[in-house]
Amino acid sequence: MNSVFILIVSFIALLWAANHLVTGAAGLVPRLKLSPLAMGLTVVALSTSAPELIVAIIASIKDKNDLVVGNVMGANIANIGLVLGITILVKPMTLNYPNLKKAYPIIIIAMLFVYSLILDGFLGKVDGCLFLIACIAMMSFFIYFTKPACKKREFNEFKSIVNAGQSLKTNLFNIILGLIILPISAKYLVMSAADIARWSGMSELTIGLTIMAIGTTLPELATAITAALKDEEEIAVGTILGSNLYNLLLILAFPAIINPAKISNTILWRDMPTMLALTLLLFFLSYQYKKKLSPWHGGILLLIYCSYLVSMAIKAHP
């Protein structure tokens, strides 16, 4: 029971620190003059992926690669099925397909690129280096090719969404505070999750795919819902898709480089295909329904995610 308490406290501290980091980083975004979609795909998405990043580093050092890989895949599936599903239920979204169609092919290619490298069942140092190179290339693409010109109105809307009206000193303080608390909370989160896995009989992979994945996607959920309610759907979708990319290319690079190890067949033949299928479904929905995604579309995404969780509950034990 102590592990459960530590897990809950660690999650709260992790999200609190992540919120400060996101707020601080987002406060610097208006100086960059990016479009809302580019903002979501780069700075905001990278900031909201901070919990997964810190968890990945700590878990890799402690030889808990299954937690890392499970957290990454589970978070990506939760981002589309859970986060975007709830966001569309709360606020039906009008997706700007002309902008998104520039990003979608790159996102699909990146996912297939990662899949092709891990299909051999091993996550090695060469894979990690290639992931980092691809991550830098993706960020460059999104910054320079997703309409870099941004109007003053969009800057003001973005600042109101992320509460980015603080001074430079306040933003830097938030970033530093987040960077201090994140690794500490992540360390105890990993330790307690591993204890719960041993106590419950569940594998560390399953814990990563469920409990940790849902917990570490809460920053994306908060950002996406806030953005959607303020009619900035491009930031909402960009944050989710960008976070998924960084989870694959940036966060998976750390266990690959720090602690090369085998990858479970379950990841290769259940979780990775599920993530690809959900991404393709989102692409289809945004193309088929260019005017607006209605609540029932969000319901479909949530239903798929719940079905995924049920399938794991049935096979919870390794």
Domains, the chain, ordered by start: 2-314 (1.20.1420.30)
Residue 26 confidence (pLDDT) above 80 = no
Greatest mean pLDDT among 17-26, 151-160, 192-201 lies in: 192-201
Q: At what angle do helices 97-118 and 125-145 cross, to 10 degrees?
A: 170
Identify the bridge partners of residue 122 per DSSP, sorted by sequence position: 262
Query: Could you tell me which of 49, 70, 318, 79 has the C-alpha nearest to residue 193?
Result: 70
Eight-state DSSP code of residue 123: E
Rounded CA gap, 255 and 57, in Å? 7
Residue 47 confidence (pLDDT) above 90 = no
Rounded CA gap, 63 and 161, in Å? 38
Q: What angle do CA 282, 223, 107 make, to 5 degrees?
A: 35
Cβ atoms within 10 A of the Cβ of 292, count?
A: 12
Q: What is the mean pLDDT of residues 46-55?
A: 79
Q: Among 37-41, 51-55, 220-224, 280-284, which stretch is predicted with the lowest mean pLDDT?
A: 37-41
Tell me the backbone φ, ψ of residue 115, rounded to 5 degrees: -60, -45
Q: What is the mean pLDDT of residues 166-192?
A: 80
| Amino acid symbol at 273 | P
Residue 310 confidence (pLDDT) above 80 = yes
Q: What's the pLDDT band for 76 if we cut at 50, 70, 90? A: very high
The tokens of 5 are what? 């308490």
**Mean of per-residue pLDDT scores for the chain:** 81
| Amino acid symbol at 171 | N
Q: What's the pLDDT band for 194 if we cut at 50, 70, 90? A: confident
Residue 272 confidence (pLDDT) above 90 = yes
> What's the pLDDT score for residue 124?
94
The tokens of 10 are what? 């660690």
Residue 289 confidence (pLDDT) above 90 = no
In tens, the pLDDT along 102-123 reads: 778 888 899 999 999 999 999 9
Rounded CA gap, 286 and 101, in Å? 9
Cβ atoms within 10 A of the Cβ of 271, count?
A: 22
CB 131 within 8 A of CB 249: yes
| Helix (H) / strand (E) containing 41 | none
